[in-house]
Amino acid sequence: MHGRAVAANPNVKLIAVFDPKAARAKALARKYGARVSCNMQEVLDDPRVDAVHVLTPPDHHIKTAVASLKAGKHVLVEKPVAWRANDIKRLQSAAEKANRVCMPAHNYIYNPSLQRAKRLISEGKLGRVASLWVLYNIFHPERVAAIYGGVLRAVCVHHAYSLLYLLGRPSRLTATASKVHYRELTCEDQAMIVCQMPNGVIANLWCSFAAKDLTSDPWTVVYKVLGTEGGLSYSWNEAQYEDDRGPGWGLPCYVESFRNEVDYFINRCVLGGEPPLSTLADALDSLRIIEAAERASSNKAQVETIQYDT
């Protein structure tokens, strides 16, 4: 997805790919006319490299992103930016010291429909917002789910940064999670977080890897915002085409979220000096929400107050 997005942006070119699994690096590099690097240092030492996309599993994000910033590169780092919220502080100070952009790859909000949603909400077109609903469902066999782990960490971070972007910071939440479909894995395969905003808005965030929702095959992603004078609804089903080769299942809302995010990173942030739509501070607060949800769900859905740094 990142390879396609970079190839589609006329201001950038993929220069080098590093992956400890060399065959993977080779396949990607060949596709986009880049070279394969034997290690990360080789990428960082290359003066032609201005920006690094950190697409490793989450436990390598911080180390790779900090090293890239120290080498003077701009960084786009996949979600969740870190496993622990506090680790993001290291990234914030590295980005500040290096005076380089470090943008969380919070791709879902780079869809124009969500940007319109935010504008309509802030213009008051919906009146007083009463509730937000984010429904996410995709059926994952255990071998796929094993790459990602429990849905609270792996997926609900999309819900959390979307909530911060659209409506701001919730003050407290409760959450519940369960395992319906996995046999071997011990982590949750579905979860629900209910957040209360200081102004009374209730945000309902649902995520599941457990169910086959054939009514919107293969993937359900629905956002709804309801207000006293109107509502808005946005779904990834708004356009779909046959795409057996993947990896975007012919869902342009998904495929284009990467293109929009990469365009924003390059054109608006790196070249234009603008901040991203979702910052490292938002990534940190998203993880504060997830950590509070984990505490709540392991504590019989107790209500948790969320402590923010910002």
Ligand X SMILES: NC(=O)c1ccc[n+]([C@@H]2O[C@H](COP(=O)([O-])OP(=O)(O)OC[C@H]3O[C@@H](n4cnc5c(N)ncnc54)[C@H](O)[C@@H]3O)[C@@H](O)[C@H]2O)c1
Taking the least distance from each CB to ligand X, the nearer of 80 and 170 is: 80
Q: Does 276 bind ligand X (CB under 6 A)?
A: no
Q: What are phi and psi of 233, to 5 degrees?
A: -140, 135
Q: What are phi and psi of 189, to 5 degrees?
A: -110, 0
Among 57, 112, 141, 200, binds ligand X (CB under 6 A): 57
Q: Maximum distance among all alpha carbons in the chain?
A: 58
Q: Does 23 bind ligand X (CB under 6 A)?
A: no
Contact 223, 233 (CB under 8 A): yes
Q: Which stretch binds ligand X (CB under 6 A): 49-57, 120-128, 222-230, 270-278?
A: 49-57
Taking the least distance from each CB to ligand X, the nearer of 206 and 236 is: 236
In angstroms, give the least distance from the CB of 283 to ligand X: 12
Contact 61, 85 (CB under 8 A): no
Q: Does 162 bind ligand X (CB under 6 A)?
A: no
Alpha helices in 52-111 (DSSP H): 61-70, 88-98
In which region does residue 168 sit, left (phi positive, over 0), alpha (psi from -120 to 50) or beta (all else)?
A: left
In angstroms, give the least distance from the CB of 177 to ligand X: 18
Compute the residue count for the chain: 310
In angstroms, give the least distance from the CB of 195 to ligand X: 21
In angstroms, give the least distance from the CB of 169 to ligand X: 22
The vertex-224 CA angle with 218 and 226, nearest 5°, equals 165
Q: Does 165 bind ligand X (CB under 6 A)?
A: no
Rounded CA-CA distance 85/62 in Å is: 11
Q: Does 50 bind ligand X (CB under 6 A)?
A: no
Tell me which residues in 66-95 interact with ligand X (CB under 6 A). 78-79
Q: Which residues bind ligand X (CB under 6 A)?
A: 18-21, 24, 40, 55-58, 60, 64, 78-79, 105, 107, 147
